[in-house]
Amino acid sequence: MAEQLREGLWLLELGFVAPLASNAYLLDDGGDVTLVDSGLPRNWPTLRSELAAAGYEVGDVDRVLLTHYDLDHVGGLARLRPEFDGPVYVGRDDLRLVHGEDDPSVFHHKGAFHRLARVLFPFPADVDVHPVTDGETFDGFTAFHTPGHNPGHTVYLHESGVAFLGDLVWEEDAELTTPIWFDSYDVREIDESVKGLVDRIPPFEVAAMGHGDPIRSRGHAALLALADRL
Ligand SMILES: [Zn+2]
């Protein structure tokens, strides 16, 4: 059930139950409404009902940020049509993968899955998808390319002090951890992305990750603690 984390920030609990549960977030900065990630192609509760529980309709959403192309984060995008007609942001290398401009190896466990997924679940044809690059800034957000889980995985920091971390990290027992091998392209690259991110991301308060319970304060310290453990 949708939960308000702080003023203007909502956790939307999508998917089903673990491990098929994933987090999306709604950020209302007083002018614009941003949805970060969108759950599975089918969710229970649904994306629409979670938005409604937070007090919003699909037509209120101005933009969607996707941390990466995995079905538990992008699958719900098609459910926002036709009311949502704003831009969608996703890391450039993941967009290249979806569009077939980059071909992951069929012999790689996740690459083989993505080759199938991009055929069955492409981005909706009439959606304006914008490829995001490292360091890009827009509408109060800064993008950080953090590959490893996916080639184009991207963290978005909002200037209000919220870091949308996607599947760069997960939460377990109030600590941050890194995703498992089975669900990732390259776990060593994830470690390097975590270490690289703590060196360059400005301090933030809320750590909003794709799986687990968001860390509501001192999120930056939690990320530093993880980097020290790696
Ligand atoms: Zn995920």
Show me where the domains of the chain are located. Answer: 3-229
Please give the distance, rounded to the nearest whole angstrom, from the Cα atom of residue 211 to the centre of ligand 1: 6
Please give the distance, rounded to the nearest whole angstrom, from the Cα atom of residue 69 to the centre of ligand 1: 9
Please give the distance, rounded to the nearest whole angstrom, from the Cα atom of residue 65 to the centre of ligand 1: 14
pLDDT of residue 58: 96
Please give the distance, rounded to the nearest whole angstrom, from the Cα atom of residue 115 to the centre of ligand 1: 17
Provide the residues around ligand 1 (an ion) whose CB is within 5 A. Answer: 72, 167, 210
Q: pLDDT of 55-93, one tens digit each?
A: 999 999 999 999 999 999 999 999 998 999 999 999 999
Which pTM does this prediction carry?
0.96
Please give the distance, rounded to the nearest whole angstrom, from the Cα atom of residue 171 to the centre of ligand 1: 12
Instruction: Place domain 3-229 in its CATH homologous superfamily.
Output: Ribonuclease Z/Hydroxyacylglutathione hydrolase-like (3.60.15.10)
pLDDT of residue 44: 85
Query: What are residue 35's phi and psi, to 5 degrees?
Result: -105, 130
Positions of the chain with pLDDT lower than 70, given as ranges: none
